[in-house]
Structure 1
Amino acid sequence: MLRSFRPALSLLAAALVVGCASAPRPTPAPAAVATPPLAGTGTANAAVANLASASGTLVSGRVMLSPAQGGVRVRGELGGLVRNGTHNLRLHARGDCSAVDAASAGPEYDAQRGAPSQLPDSGERGRILADARGVAVVDLLLPGAVLGGGAPNDVVGRALLVLGATPGAISARVACGVVRIE
């Protein structure tokens, strides 16, 4: 009687071997990518961003960046803004202002976290006000940022964008400039 089951057992054993050999192998977990730590200080004493128009505006200006207590101080002047308008100056992830609308600069960047911003936009961060001539004097702090050194919170090589109250395009990217060490 065992002889009559032998072919069936051989077939079952072969099916198990083939089934195991063709089963998908478990995918190893991806290796954790170590994120470099945020820096307490940078390696540069000064940087500049020359902002040029974007989205067909006439906005332009120059801001100087310097290390300050708690981050990086941004000071300068911007012109061509909507007169008596509220605008925002924001740090963006990529130092690329090549797109007509400056979308090439990527998402807003949070230097305190060293990553793209996850903060809801209240419109308060980076607020600048233009006067009756359309000129804004900028004096802001980028909290947690450093100048130079390549840490995730380093702002050198990132873009500063002016978001404007342009007629028909509230919060449009109206000017863009890349932060460069002087």
Structure 2
Amino acid sequence: MIKHDCTVIIQINGSLRLMPGPHGFHVHERGDIGNGCSDAAAHYNPLGRVHGGPGEQFPTVRHVGDLGNIVTPATGVTMINQTYRGLGLSGPFSILGRTIVVHENVDDLGRGRSPLSNTTGNAGGRVACGIIGRVVRP
């Protein structure tokens, strides 16, 4: 029997205007941006794990959708150029068709004292979102 290990790397690029500071950045369950991003439901967590950060062991320690924080400088323009391991656009942990959400506050990566730390990173309200799709270039 031959076993092939494959690491999937997803690149997320973009820019948006936010209040300066760190903001939680997560993939949510549904591909629905209605009601101020609330219709996207909870963090994508098919394995029922506690909240964590992107550098933590996947999938044993964190949600699939836990992407940590993005940081907005004093100019208010956030440039996102992040690479993530453990996500996919197909297969059992596909994020295709789900919603990516930027939160109001810093994600404490599950290490805070708030009861919300283990579920949302206590990252606060949703300030921006978009549905994850596939771009086909000619």
* TM exceeding 0.5: yes
Matches within 5 A, 1:60-99: 70-79=8-17, 81-83=18-20, 85-99=21-35
**TM-score if structure 2 supplies the norm length?**
0.63
Task: Establish whether residue 141 from structure 1 lines up as the match of residue 72 from structure 2.
Answer: no
Q: How far apart are residue 82 of structure 1 and its match?
A: 0.9
Would you tell me which structure has more helix in proportion to its own residues?
1
Q: How far apart are residue 140 of structure 1 and its match?
A: 2.2
Matches within 5 A, 1:1-182: 70-79=8-17, 81-83=18-20, 85-100=21-36, 102-110=37-45, 115=46, 118-121=49-52, 125-147=67-89, 149=90, 151-165=91-105, 171-182=124-135
Q: Equivalents in 1 of 2:40, 2:26: separation in Å?
A: 11
Q: Is the 2:8–2:88 contact (alpha carbons within 8 Å) kept by the matching residues of 1? A: no
Structure 1 pair 142–77 and aligned structure 2 pair: CA distance change class (3 A):
same
Q: What amino acid does structure 2 have at the position aligned with 1:159?
A: T
SS in structure 1 at match of 2:39: helix
Give the fraction of aligned pairs with identical amino acids, expressed as a percent: 26
SS in structure 1 at match of 2:33: coil
Residue segments in structure 1 that go unaligned for 5+ positions in a row: 1-39, 42-68
Larger Rg, first or second structure (1 or 2): 1
Structure 1 pair 116–93 and aligned structure 2 pair: CA distance change class (3 A):
farther
Q: Aligned pair count?
A: 105
Q: How far apart are residue 142 of structure 1 and its match?
A: 3.3
**TM-score if structure 1 supplies the norm length?**
0.49
Residue segments in structure 2 that go unaligned for 5+ positions in a row: 56-66, 107-122
Q: Equivalents in 2 of 1:92, 1:161: separation in Å?
A: 7
Q: Is the 1:108–1:116 contact (alpha carbons within 8 Å) kept by the matching residues of 2? A: no
Q: CA RMSD in A?
A: 2.9
Structure 1 pair 164–116 and aligned structure 2 pair: CA distance change class (3 A):
farther
Would you tell me which structure has more strand in proportion to its own residues?
1
Q: Equivalents in 2 of 1:140, 1:71: separation in Å?
A: 10
Q: How far apart are residue 116 of structure 1 and its match?
A: 5.9
